[in-house]
């Protein structure tokens, strides 16, 4: 069951790369975080790890609902352009995404632990795909979403490859994420649309 949700996580990420509308991008990011949190809760209950269940629930509430809502509020407040065209054409993206996935599976091939090999390759692939999402857009909000999806990829790696990080580190990461959102709020001004 955890595998199923991780698959959904990857599919929402790929859809986010191909999307051309800003609010739809927020929705995909929210769904991505919800599937990730659900997978964390399922894996955590399988190995009886309370810390992972807690951080999965925090991820669902914070990243699935709160952050997309805040970002939507910012984009309304600063009146941003909602039509975001990727600068990489869709036919090339369709070739690039599987290439990245195949490459990461090839990369982790020499690892001996058979149990979590695929998860490691999937999280490295999501890191690269999030970088693609950042590269292909000129507007600022997709870049922020790309950064947040990198955080999700980190979370996926932490929960699958290591069966849970120490709780203190998890909380530190959440705290830094909130700090990042505060900083983004301070940085957003009327005149900055494109970087």
Residue closer to other proteins by CB (options 95, 195) is 195
Residue closer to other proteins by CB (options 90, 102) is 102
Q: How far is the CB of 47 from other proteins (least distance, A)?
A: 13
Q: How far is the CB of 14 from other proteins (least distance, A)?
A: 20
Q: How far is the CB of 127 from other proteins (least distance, A)?
A: 6
Residues 190 and 194: their CA atoms lie apart, in Å, by 11
Q: How far is the CB of 164 from other proteins (least distance, A)?
A: 9
Token pair for 51 = 């810390």
Residue closer to other proteins by CB (options 52, 140) is 140
Residue closer to other proteins by CB (options 89, 172) is 172
List contacts with other proteins (CB under 8 A).
107-108, 110-113, 116, 120, 124, 127, 131, 134, 140, 143, 147, 150-151, 153-154, 157-158, 161-163, 165-166, 168-169, 172-173, 175-176, 179-180, 183-184, 186-187, 189, 191-192, 195
**Could you tell me the CA-to-CA distances from 120 to 66, 89, 127, 133 in Å, in that order?**
28, 28, 11, 20
Residues 159 and 35: their CA atoms lie apart, in Å, by 13
Residue closer to other proteins by CB (options 98, 166) is 166
Of the candidates 120, 124, 92, the residue with the CA atom closest to the CA atom of residue 13: 124
Q: For residue 92, what is the enclosing H or E element? A: helix 90-107
Residue closer to other proteins by CB (options 108, 129) is 108
**Could you tell me the CA-to-CA distances from 167 to 44, 49, 53, 111, 147 in Å, in that order?**
13, 11, 11, 26, 22
Of the candidates 71, 39, 73, the residue with the CA atom closest to the CA atom of residue 56: 39
Q: How far is the CB of 91 from other proteins (least distance, A)?
A: 27
Q: How far is the CB of 48 from other proteins (least distance, A)?
A: 15
Q: Tally Cβ neighbours within 10 Å of residue 171.
A: 14
């Amino acid at each position: 069951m955890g595998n199923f949700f991780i698959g959904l996580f990857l599919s929402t990420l790929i859809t986010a790369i191909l999307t051309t509308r800003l609010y739809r991008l927020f929705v995909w990011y929210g769904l991505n975080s919800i599937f990730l949190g659900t997978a964390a809760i399922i894996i955590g209950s399988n190995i009886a790890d309370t810390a992972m269940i807690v951080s999965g629930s925090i991820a669902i509430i914070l990243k699935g609902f709160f952050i997309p809502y805040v970002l939507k509020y910012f984009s309304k407040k600063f009146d941003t352009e909602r039509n975001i065209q990727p600068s990489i054409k869709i036919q090339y993206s369709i070739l690039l995404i599987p290439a990245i996935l195949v490459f990461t599976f090839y990369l982790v091939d020499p690892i001996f632990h058979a149990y979590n090999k695929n998860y490691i390759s999937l999280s490295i692939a999501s890191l690269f795909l999030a970088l693609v999402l950042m590269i292909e857009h000129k507007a600022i909000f997709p870049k922020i979403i790309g950064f947040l999806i990198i955080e999700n990829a980190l979370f996926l790696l932490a929960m699958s490859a290591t069966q849970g990080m120490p709780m203190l580190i998890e909380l530190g990461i959440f705290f830094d994420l909130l700090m990042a959102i505060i900083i983004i709020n301070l940085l957003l001004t009327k005149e900055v649309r494109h970087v």
